[in-house]
Amino acid sequence: MEQITGSIITWNDDRGYGFIAVDKSSTKKYFVHISGFGQIPRRPLVGDVVRFVSVESMGGKQQAVNVRIAGLPPQVAPTRSGGATPAARPRRRVLPSESGRRGRHWIGSGFALSLAIGAGIYAYDSFPPNWIKFDRSTQSPTTVHATSEPRFRCAGKIYCSEMSSCKEAIFYLRNCPGTKMDGNHDGVPCESQWCGQ
């Protein structure tokens, strides 16, 4: 394909495209995208002299491909055995609108985290564990069985076969949830094993 020489007359670096003209008096322009340059050591600039191949785009317009900026050395792809390395990829500029979106993202994340922590504190305060009872007037925790039976504590036992005495069975029936030790619901647990009359 025939190589054409021209110069970049417009370039939008944020969007990565521009137009090339063969000479200033010509009205014919060639669309060029940043991808048409391949690997280059710097971004294109208005006024750069370029050599390119013209192809017809899907819209029927002329587009420049295989574009080389005059005066810049061609970039060589890296090889497995070492060889030349490609130029560092230019960093994309962050638009003001994008930086605003990033800031809002962090604000939204912080708000969500605060909301989750607040919900956890409320749930813990509203539904304390079984072995703690809160006195709402002072908000100080006191154990349910601190004075009644210091040697027993709720440890997940629910059946008479897991008890070691009538006192332990009575403690579990009165203080621990989910027990299955008072079949006739008379308030006396384990009547046939531990607390029989």
**pLDDT tens-digit readout, 115-151:** 888 777 776 666 555 545 545 555 545 444 445 545 8
- Rg of the chain, C-alpha, whole Å: 40
In a domain, 176, yes or no: yes
CA dihedral 4, 10, 16, 17 (to 10 degrees): -50
Same domain, yes or no, for 134 and 192? yes
In a domain, 83, yes or no: no
In a domain, 20, yes or no: yes
Which tokens belong to 106?
């962090």
pTM of the model as a whole: 0.38
**Domain span at 38:** 4-69
In a domain, 88, yes or no: no
The residue written with tokens 């709720």 in the block is: 154
Domain tally for the chain? 3
Instruction: Quote the CA–CA distance of 191 and 9 in Å, as a whole number.
Output: 99
Same domain, yes or no, for 24 and 53? yes
Instruction: Quote the CA–CA distance of 3 and 1 in Å, as a whole number.
Output: 6
The residue written with tokens 């072995």 in the block is: 131
With beta carbons less than 8 A apart as the criterion, state whether 6 and 63 touch: no
Return the CATH number at 57.
2.40.50.140
Same domain, yes or no, for 157 and 112? no
The residue written with tokens 């009547």 in the block is: 191
pLDDT at 112: 78
